[in-house]
């Protein structure tokens, strides 16, 4: 009778919190940075429309389609992305520990 193979959880299977924080910070910062630029030139792309930008303006105070708004969006994106990415990786690792 064949044995059941259960996968072993290795330490290397954990997500690296700092790496996730930096990666998501870069991605979300770039999304907001280019989103403000697209809004300034009145360009709509599939994942960033006028409605999406109006929602983001309510979430991030100071985010406007201006030159200063570009850098405000970049700042908010980096901070929000770093916190979200790090928190996601941390929670993922904690859940994996508890499910062993």
What is the pLDDT at residue 84?
A: 97
Q: Is the pLDDT of residue 6 over 60?
A: no
Average pLDDT value over all residues in the chain = 89
pTM: predicted TM-score of the whole model, two decimal places: 0.81
What is the pLDDT at residue 58?
A: 94
Cα(63)–Cα(40) distance, integer angstroms? 12
Q: Is the pLDDT of residue 7 over 80?
A: no
b/e string for 19-55 if b means 16 or more Cβ within 10 A?
ebbbebbeebbebbbbbbebbeeeeeeeebeeeebee
Q: What percent of the chain has pLDDT over 70?
A: 88
- pLDDT of 22-52, one tens digit each? 999 999 999 999 999 999 998 878 878 888 8
Q: Is the pLDDT of residue 73 over 60?
A: yes
Q: Which backbone phi and psi does 70 adopt, to 5 degrees?
A: -60, -50
- How many helices (H) and strands (E) the chain has is answered by 3, 0
Query: Do the Cβ atoms of 86 and 21 come closer than 8 Å?
Result: yes
What is the pLDDT at residue 10?
A: 65
Q: Which backbone phi and psi does 67 adopt, to 5 degrees?
A: -60, -45
Rounded average pLDDT over 86-91: 96
């Amino acid at each position: 009778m064949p044995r059941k193979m259960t996968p072993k959880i290795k330490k290397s299977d954990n997500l690296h919190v700092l790496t996730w924080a930096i990666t998501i910070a870069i991605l979300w910062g770039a999304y907001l940075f280019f989103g403000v630029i697209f809004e300034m030139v009145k360009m709509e792309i599939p994942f960033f429309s006028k409605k999406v930008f109006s929602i983001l303006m309510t979430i991030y105070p100071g985010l406007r389609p201006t030159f200063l708004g570009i850098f405000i969006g970049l700042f908010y994106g980096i901070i929000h992305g770093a916190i979200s990415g790090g928190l996601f990786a941390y929670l993922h690792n904690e859940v994996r520990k508890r499910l062993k």
